[in-house]
């Protein structure tokens, strides 16, 4: 079937792109275009008109012809750049449907690219991550994955495991021949090596997820310490309402914030303190949830006054490994007590660079991931690696305890299957549809 969809974002724009892919793509385009494209060379653009059923002009467009397999989907494809009005674009798409195409499902172009071997599954997932990337590092990682860095790493594991499977299977087939392919110790050592490298890759999930989803950063502090002021200073614009009355920030405010190469979801809270007021109680309840869920907490204290009970309570309650203590209002006075902290003035915008640095250090405790390192970002990949690692461990224990090579070899096959799912070998239709249905329409 030939599919079509608007590939640009919905709404009004200078131009909109409509994409058509499938066996009939050229024939369908031919039916509604003012010029013949049958003899056009591939990868050429043609100016002309899309015609209504009565032969009058609907829109003038630029039509791009791409013959399979040299296209994104691997099929014959046509892209139409038309005027970017919502209505005109829809009308052109309707004409394409009248001429024989059917509406594409979300992600269906990428699904076809995968099915036609233009991309493996990890690369297809990278396409979506590239589109969704909200920070420099997330973008770089998606680009690497799209170029095949993760797929290559997986392929290396597969190659080594396939060799081991072959040796084990030879032991099964020719048990009486004392085949000297490799000693048992060598095989175990190899398996341990592979297992260790898989574990290392699996551990990148934390960093990968941090990059992909953003870091939730929670601002905590007693009323009036300057949480809203700091949030505004970090955002560089007025978002939270700053007031001199205590307890005005009653809802959790969330903002996207890009600091350097990272993406944060900044959460402002009502602070945690004892109160009878109902709405404020709700705000406090949410703060406590935010505190548990946050990847990072900035605990604000007011340097211009001694610590109060709620400050002490917060200092006690916040998990140390993800909390940065920040003294605010240092333009008024020095902090009343010394502790590991960052000193700022949200009002005078001083100390913000030091704060950003402290944030980076807390997130990347062992240093930021290197540019070369491949990070996994999908839970699916994490699970497959876990299963592959367990299967390898089972092989090692099996060999050590003298279990028949037949059973052990089947565990190696199991590890291979798990790795294969990452790049899309032997994945079920349900998995495919779960992955691709999250894509944008037209991608």
* Interaction of residue 346 with ligand GDP, rule CB under 6 A: yes
- CA angle (367 as vertex; 364, 369 as ends), nearest 5: 90
Q: Which of residues 247-266 bind ligand GDP (CB under 6 A)?
A: 249
* Interaction of residue 283 with ligand GDP, rule CB under 6 A: no
* Interaction of residue 269 with ligand GDP, rule CB under 6 A: no
Within 10 angstroms of residue 227's Cβ, the number of other Cβ atoms is 27
Instruction: In angstroms, give the least distance from the CB of 118 to ligand GDP.
Output: 51
Which of 9, 131, 179, 332 lies at the binding interface for ligand GDP (CB under 6 A)?
332
CA–CA distance, 425 with 287 (Å, rounded to integer) = 44
**CB contact at 8 A, 360 and 262:** yes
Considering only CA atoms, which of 95, 100, 5 is closest in space to residue 50?
A: 95
As to burial, measured by CB atoms within 10 angstroms (0-12 exposed, 13-18 middle, 19+ buried), residue 119 is buried
* Interaction of residue 345 with ligand GDP, rule CB under 6 A: yes
Taken in order 401, 407, 411, 416, is the CA torsion positive or negative? positive
**CB contact at 8 A, 331 and 345:** yes
Which of 112, 329, 382, 443 lies at the binding interface for ligand GDP (CB under 6 A)?
329
Contact map string, positions 136 to 175, toward ligand GDP, x by CB under 6 A: ----------------------------------------
DSSP for 366-386, please give it: T-PPPTT------HHHHHHHH
Which of 74, 208, 226, 442 lies at the binding interface for ligand GDP (CB under 6 A)?
226
Nearer to ligand GDP, 199 or 243 (CB): 243
* Interaction of residue 224 with ligand GDP, rule CB under 6 A: yes
Closest residue (Cβ) to ligand GDP? 226
* Interaction of residue 21 with ligand GDP, rule CB under 6 A: no
| Token pair belonging to 443 | 């991608």
Give backbone dihedrals phi and psi of 50, rounded to 5 degrees, phi first. Answer: -95, 130
* Interaction of residue 331 with ligand GDP, rule CB under 6 A: yes
CA–CA distance, 339 with 49 (Å, rounded to integer) = 71
* Interaction of residue 351 with ligand GDP, rule CB under 6 A: no
- Please work out the total of residues on this chain that contact ligand GDP, with binding judged by CB under 6 A: 19
- Considering only 103-111, 129-137, 217-225, 363-371, which stretch makes contact with ligand GDP by CB under 6 A? 217-225
Instruction: In angstroms, give the least distance from the CB of 280 to ligand GDP.
Output: 12
| Token pair belonging to 65 | 């012809």
Which chain residues interact with ligand GDP by CB under 6 A? 221, 223-229, 242-244, 249, 328-329, 331-332, 345-347
């Amino acid at each position: 079937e030939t599919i079509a969809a608007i590939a640009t974002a919905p709404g009004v724009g200078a131009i909109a792109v409509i994409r058509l892919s499938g066996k009939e793509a050229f024939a369908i385009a031919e039916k509604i275009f003012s010029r013949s494209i049958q003899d056009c060379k591939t990868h050429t653009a043609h100016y002309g008109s899309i015609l209504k059923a009565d032969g009058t002009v609907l829109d003038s467009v630029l039509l791009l012809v791409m013959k399979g397999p040299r296209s994104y989907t691997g099929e014959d494809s046509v892209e139409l750049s038309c005027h970017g009005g919502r209505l005109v674009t829809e009308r052109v798409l309707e004409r394409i449907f009248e001429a024989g195409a059917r509406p594409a499902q979300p992600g269906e172009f990428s699904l076809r690219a995968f099915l036609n071997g233009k991309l493996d599954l990890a690369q297809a997932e990278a396409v979506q991550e590239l589109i969704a990337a909200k920070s420099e590092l997330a973008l770089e990682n998606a680009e690497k994955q799209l170029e095949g860095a993760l797929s290559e790493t997986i392929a290396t594991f597969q190659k080594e495991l396939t060799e081991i499977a072959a040796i084990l299977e030879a032991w099964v087939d020719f048990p009486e021949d004392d085949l000297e392919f490799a000693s048992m110790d060598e095989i175990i050592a190899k398996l341990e090596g592979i297992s260790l490298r898989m574990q290392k890759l699996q551990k990148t999930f934390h960093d990968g997820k941090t990059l992909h989803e953003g870091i939730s950063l929670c601002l905590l502090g007693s009323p009036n310490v300057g949480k809203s002021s700091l949030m505004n200073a970090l955002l560089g614009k007025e978002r939270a309402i700053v007031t001199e009355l205590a307890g005005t920030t009653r809802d959790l405010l969330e903002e996207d914030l890009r600091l350097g190469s990272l993406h944060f979801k900044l959460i402002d809270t009502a602070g945690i303190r004892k109160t009878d007021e109902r709405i404020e109680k709700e705000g406090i309840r949410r703060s406590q949830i935010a505190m548990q869920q946050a990847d990072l907490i900035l605990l604000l204290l007011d340097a211009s006054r001694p610590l109060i009970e709620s400050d002490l309570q917060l200092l006690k309650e916040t998990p140390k490994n993800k909390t940065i203590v920040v003294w605010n209002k240092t333009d008024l006075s020095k902090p009343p007590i010394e502790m590991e902290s960052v000193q700022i003035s949200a009002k005078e915008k001083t100390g913000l660079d030091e704060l950003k640095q402290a944030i980076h250090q807390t997130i990347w405790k062992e240093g930021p991931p290197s540019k070369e390192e491949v990070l996994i970002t999908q839970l699916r990949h994490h699970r497959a690696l876990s299963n592959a690692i367990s299967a390898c461990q089972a092989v090692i224990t099996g060999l050590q305890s003298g279990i028949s090579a037949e059973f052990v070899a089947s565990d190696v096959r199991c590890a291979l299957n798990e790795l294969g799912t990452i790049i899309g070998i032997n994945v079920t239709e349900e998995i495919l549809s779960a992955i691709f249905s999250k894509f944008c329409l037209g991608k």
